Structure 1
Amino acid sequence: MAQTQQYRIIQPAEVATGMVIRIHQKIVEGSSKDAKERIQVYEGLVLNVRGKSPNRTMTVRKVSNGVGVEKIFPLHLPSIEKIEAVKQYKTRRKNIAAVVASKKRLKEVPIKPARMKPAPAIPQESERLSASEEASDGPTVSIAEAPAESAPVEKTEQESSENGTEEKQPA
C-alpha cells in the first residue's frame, strides 16, 4: 500500500501566490437519481490570488502529461472540501505568470505557520482558589479579626455630650 504524506490544511484566507497546494474538490457525477459523489484532488502552483472576499479567486497551474493546465477556483467555493499546503516558494510579485516559461527563478522557503491566537493560560492546582474564596469578591474577614478603625462606631449620649455636640433623636 502506498504511503500518504500528511500536508498542513490551510484556510482559504491563507492561500498566497507561490504556494503549491492540493485542492480537494467534491465532484457529483450522473443525474440527480443515480448521482455519485467523489473527491478529486488538483495539485498545482498558485499563480495569482485576486479579488476581495467573498469574490476572491486563485489561479492554479499544474502540468499534466506534459501539457500545462490552469484552473481558476473561487476561494469560497462550497464544493471545496479542504486545501493543503505542499510547498511555498519565495515570490516578490502578486502575479507570477512569468514562471510558466521558467521555474529556475523560484526558491523554496518553509511554509509559514498558521496564525492562531494563543490559548489562555490554565492555572496549576496550587494556584487555584478554593470554592468559597472563588465565589466572593475578596478574602473574607470575620468581625473578630476586623481592625477597630474600620468597624462603624456608634456614639452614645454621654460621649456626644462630653464632646459638646448634641444629637437630636427622631421621635
Structure 2
Amino acid sequence: MDLIKYVQEKYIDKKDFPSFKAGDTITVYYEIKEGQKTRTQFFKGVVIQLRGTGATKTFTIRKMSGDVGVERVFPINMPALQKIEVNREGRVRRARIYYFRNLRGKKARIKDKSFGGK
C-alpha cells in the first residue's frame, strides 16, 4: 500500500485546481486531439459527486443539453485537463446528489451559497 502512495506522489504531477464540492456549478476546460490538431473544449455543469482520494480522485458533472441530461466523469489528474473554474457555489445537504437527475425545470435549481441559501 505504501509503494502505491510513493509512486503516486513521486511520479504523478499534481495540478493546482480550485476546491469545489457537490452542488457547485463549474466549467472544465480540457484538450481534445482530432488527428494532428488539438483544441480546447469546455463542459459546464453541476457537480453531482466527488469520489476517491489523491491521484485517483474523480468528479462527475451533469449538464442539460436541450431536454437530454449529459453526465461526464473527469479524473482530477487527467493530462488533458487545462483548468477548472468555479462559477457558482451551491448549497446542498448531500455529498452525492443523485436525486438531481430526476428533477426538471424550476425544481432543478440549486440555492446559492453566497446568499445564505434562503
State the 1:93 CA deviation.
1.0
Distance 1:53 1:68 in 2: 28
**Structure ID, larger Rg:** 1
**Superposed, which structure 2 residues align to 1:21-170 within 5 Å?**
21-30=26-35, 35-102=36-103, 104=107, 106-110=110-114
Q: Say if 1:47 and 1:95, in contact at 8 Å, map to a contact too.
A: yes
C-alpha RMSD of matched pairs (Å): 1.8
State the 1:99 CA deviation.
1.2
- Higher RCO (Cα < 8 Å, 6 or more apart): 2
Distance 2:19 2:88 in 1: 13
1:16 correspondence with 2:21: yes
Contiguous gaps of at least 5 residues in structure 1:
1-10, 111-171
Contiguous gaps of at least 5 residues in structure 2:
1-15
SS at 2:21 equivalent: coil
Please give the TM-score of this superposition, normalised by the length of structure 2. 0.75
CA offsets per residue over residues 113-152 of structure 1, 9 Å max, x none? Answer: xxxxxxxxxxxxxxxxxxxxxxxxxxxxxxxxxxxxxxxx
Higher strand proportion, which one?
Answer: 2
Distance 1:70 1:59 in 2: 7
Q: Give the residue type in structure 2 aligned to 1:49.
A: L
Higher helix proportion, which one?
Answer: 2
Misfit runs of 4+, over 4 Å: none
State the 1:13 CA deviation.
5.9
Identity %: 35
